[in-house]
Structure 1
Amino acid sequence: MTLEFLFYLAAGACAGGFVNGLAGFGTSLFALGWWLQVMPPVQAVAISLVMSVASGLQGVVLVHRSIDWRRLSRFMIPAVIGVPIGIGFLADVNPMHLKLVVAGFLILYGGFFAFRRSLPKLTRPTPVIDMGVGFIGGILGAIGGLSGALPTMWCSMRPWSKMEQRAVLQPFNVVILSLATGLLWIKGGYDLETTLSIAAAFPVTLISAQVGITVFKRLTDDHFRRLLIVLMLISGLVLLLRELPWDVFTNG
């Protein structure tokens, strides 16, 4: 490993770990931009999945007392069902097009609510919609690694405390991304070089996630909801910039 490679690896691990510790999602979105500069996409995604699970597990420990298992199961069970369906769609769906659509929704939603004084608050129980959100999240996680996009949008509209929101988002993402990690491992995505990179990035991710968790503890419930919305806007912009076919513009 060169010094340049180690720098980009550490920078991505630091950014991804901190954001996951702070918000409960976003490792891949904020780490891949660094890692794709010095490694092929499959290797970058393989590392990001492991780092997402590693930093996410710390967040699960943080909120384990706040987990409402009945509420979580409404999201989780349909999501697990959606994962193999998403895998089946891989041959028929263009992942880039899907990511651009998701990026558009994130930008519209985050941009609309980021600068409003009053945030949306849906107070009535919506078990059927919760199940649908979880199911689609599982499909998106299998197709494009975007399991947290729709659940994060939905949870930010609920009048839940920051611990209640995170008690849904964090376990949800850890389970779905663990399944994705297992599928990639079965396909041979973890060779020696990737494993060594994971070993190097692991401590940086864990420490950065702890820093993010420390900041999370200092946020009020309203500040956390606003943070989620702003991060959705940023995530959408990052995803859009990464997935746009820039060669079309440069060549034409």
Structure 2
Amino acid sequence: MDGVGLVLFVLASLAGGFVSGLSGFAMGLVVSGVWLHIITPIQTAALIAGYGLLTQGYGILKLRQALNWHAIWPLSLGTTIGIPTGVVLLTYLSPVHLRFGVGTLLVLYAIYSLARPAFRPMKIGIAPDIAIGLVNGLVGGLTGLGGIISTISCQWRGWTRDAQRAVFQPVLFAAFVVISISMGVTGAFTTETFRLYGLGLPFLLAGLWSGFKLYGKIDDEIFRKVVLTLLLLAGLSLIVPALLSRGA
């Protein structure tokens, strides 16, 4: 990696940490747009998993007083089952069509939700939560966006911003544990990956800290719009590459 690549790498780490601190998710969405141009896809995935454990762990620590284990465990259980299932299904299904379909649904949901007031709060039981977690994991295994569905489901419940993050961040942490174990088994964590991890770590932590500082100054409605905007960008990040591969 040359000097320009190094600067881009650490700036992306800073931005990824900031977005994670502000919203509780989407770090991978931010950094991958830059990292995939300067390091390998395997290194990118391994760093996102490694940093994801850190960002989600930090969020859990900061919001530990609001943790709702009754809501966390069903979503986490479904997610940990769904991720490897989604990875297996990926070998039988068209990744281009899947990403385009999921991306389109995310874009439509985000645009619709941004254009209208928040949903009326919903009460969701344990069995539906396990099913939501399963879909969350399936989408993560199929597209790499492991916390999207659980994040959306937390919005449906009408919770405060702290209550939402205190549920979907532990679920994301569980997802990153499964992903990290899988990548460790396949040998994705190399010496070079650990070197890159160390290079980006101070910048990621600085971004994470500053993002949480800003998070403390926004209200529930602004947080809702921030999450929806990131969901919109996540959907576009799936649609655009799918369209480009179709035209190739």
The separation in 1 between residues aligned to 2:123 and 2:234, in whole angstroms, is 28
- Equivalent residues of 1:137, 1:151 under 8 A apart: yes
Give 2:64's aligned residue. Answer: 64
- Equivalent residues of 1:141, 1:180 under 8 A apart: no
The separation in 1 between residues aligned to 2:96 and 2:27, in whole angstroms, is 19
Residue 139 of structure 1 aligns with an amino acid whose one-letter code is L
Q: C-alpha deviations, 1:109-130, integer Å up to 9, x for none?
A: 00111122x1112333443332
Residue 71 of structure 1 aligns with an amino acid whose one-letter code is A
Tell me how far 1:171 sits from its aligned partner: 0.7
Give 1:106's aligned residue. Answer: 106
Tell me how far 1:78 sits from its aligned partner: 1.7
Give 1:244's aligned residue. Answer: 242
- Equivalent residues of 1:9, 1:201 under 8 A apart: yes
Unaligned runs of 5+ in 1: none
The separation in 1 between residues aligned to 2:220 and 2:245, in whole angstroms, is 43
- Equivalent residues of 1:142, 1:180 under 8 A apart: no
- Equivalent residues of 1:29, 1:239 under 8 A apart: no
Give 1:156's aligned residue. Answer: 155
The separation in 2 between residues aligned to 1:27 and 1:191, in whole angstroms, is 21
Residue 144 of structure 1 aligns with an amino acid whose one-letter code is T
The separation in 2 between residues aligned to 1:151 and 1:224, in whole angstroms, is 16
Tell me how far 1:94 sits from its aligned partner: 3.4
Q: In angstroms, what is the RMSD of aligned CA positions?
A: 1.7
The separation in 2 between residues aligned to 1:247 and 1:152, in whole angstroms, is 28
The separation in 2 between residues aligned to 1:134 and 1:75, in whole angstroms, is 4
Residue 10 of structure 1 aligns with an amino acid whose one-letter code is V
Q: C-alpha deviations, 1:195-251, integer Å up to 9, x for none?
A: 21111011111110111111111111222122211221122123323x2352654x6
SS of match in other structure, 2:63: helix
Tell me how far 1:65 sits from its aligned partner: 1.1
Residue 2 of structure 2 aligns with an amino acid whose one-letter code is T
Give 1:49's aligned residue. Answer: 49
Give 1:226's aligned residue. Answer: 225
Give 2:38's aligned residue. Answer: 38
- Equivalent residues of 1:75, 1:135 under 8 A apart: yes
- Which deviates further from its counterpart, 126-135 or 197-206? 126-135
How has the CA–CA distance of structure 1 residues 79 and 248 changed in structure 2, closer, same or farther, with 3 Å as cutoff?
A: closer
In percent, how many aligned pairs have the same letter?
26
Give 1:10's aligned residue. Answer: 10
Residue 79 of structure 1 aligns with an amino acid whose one-letter code is T
The separation in 1 between residues aligned to 2:144 and 2:152, in whole angstroms, is 16
The separation in 2 between residues aligned to 1:106 and 1:79, in whole angstroms, is 18
- Equivalent residues of 1:21, 1:56 under 8 A apart: no
* Alignment size in residue pairs: 248
The separation in 2 between residues aligned to 1:239 and 1:50, in whole angstroms, is 22
SS of match in other structure, 1:211: helix
Residue 28 of structure 1 aligns with an amino acid whose one-letter code is G
Q: Return the TM-score normalized by structure 2.
A: 0.93
Do residues 86 (structure 1) and 83 (structure 2) align? no
SS of match in other structure, 1:190: coil
Give 1:183's aligned residue. Answer: 182
- Which deviates further from its counterpart, 42-51 or 166-175? 42-51
- Equivalent residues of 2:97, 2:242 under 8 A apart: no
SS of match in other structure, 1:136: helix
